Amino acid sequence: MKKKVPIDFKVSAASRGRRSKKKKRRKLSKRRGVKVKEKAKEEGVTPLVEKYWLQRYDLFSRYDEGIKMDEEGWFSVTPEEIAVRHAEMSRGGVVIDCFTGVGGNAIQFAKMSCHVVAIDIDAKKVELAYNNAKIYGVEDYIDFIVGDFFQLASSLEGNGDIAFLSPPWGGPSYKAIENFTLDRLKPKDGYSMFQVAQTITPNIIMFLPRNIDLHQVEELSWLSSPPLSVRD
């Protein structure tokens, strides 16, 4: 004969089972978290960029083949999918990538059959961009220049079909700003930057944060004739 089990015992046994499953799951994910942290440490990733390292394949799909970045590069590189969309706006020709960084955009423009003039003020960034372009097999389509875009602009007049502007947004804290105004862009405000780019070509692509002041962007687009389009 089956032994009757008191109801409250059944309940507590079941919940004990659930609790131990939860405990196991927590243990497992903790162990996985520790492993991920160890792998990041092995690669020399600092705690500040760990979050970006977790998204490494979104930044560069060929990350495992030898992509290299410095700390600023981790949080300032354009994610590959977005860089592809930027590149799709071009139709070949010469693209002046005025703030190249570690090469996220330059690589995609080069893949889209553009010739790219890649400028960055930081020699280390240019070295990293060259390394990364080699991973994608496009280094021969890019001229790498260490220099200040604002100083080089006059020598580039009429030499580019597109000027691509991906200036620093002032670090990850830009996200906390409700209305990101153009004066926050570095190293100069967005209006000056845009005007300098206009001396090279009327075709300008500017990559701005989502929280940008849209009224200002509209004003900026009117500086161009015909006015530039704004895309989300």
By the rule CB under 6 A, 121 interacts with ligand SAM: yes
Q: Is 153 in the site for ligand SAM (CB under 6 A)?
A: no
Task: Find the helix or strand (DSSP H, E) in which 85 lies.
Answer: helix 80-88
Of 138, 74, 130, the C-alpha closest to 108 is 138
With CB under 6 A as the contact rule, the residue among 61, 111, 168, 192 that binds ligand SAM is: 168
CA 102 to chain centroid: 10
Judge whether 129 and 102 are in contact, CB under 8 Å. yes
- Minimum separation from the CB atom of position 220 to ligand SAM (A): 18
Regarding 104 and contact with ligand SAM (CB under 6 A), the answer is yes
Q: Could you tell me the smallest distance in angstroms from the CB atom of residue 37 to ligand SAM?
A: 25
Task: Compose the 49-78 pattern: x for residues touching ligand SAM by CB under 6 A, - for all others.
Answer: ---------------------------xxx
- Specify whether the CB–CB gap between 173 and 219 falls below 8 A: no
Indicate which single residue of 149, 163, 185, 200 sits in contact with ligand SAM (rule: CB under 6 A). Answer: 149
Within 10 A of 205 (CB to CB), how many other CB atoms are there? Answer: 20
Whole-angstrom distance, CA of residue 91 vs CA of residue 162: 10
Footprint of ligand SAM (CB under 6 A)? 76-78, 99-105, 119-122, 125, 148-150, 166-168, 187
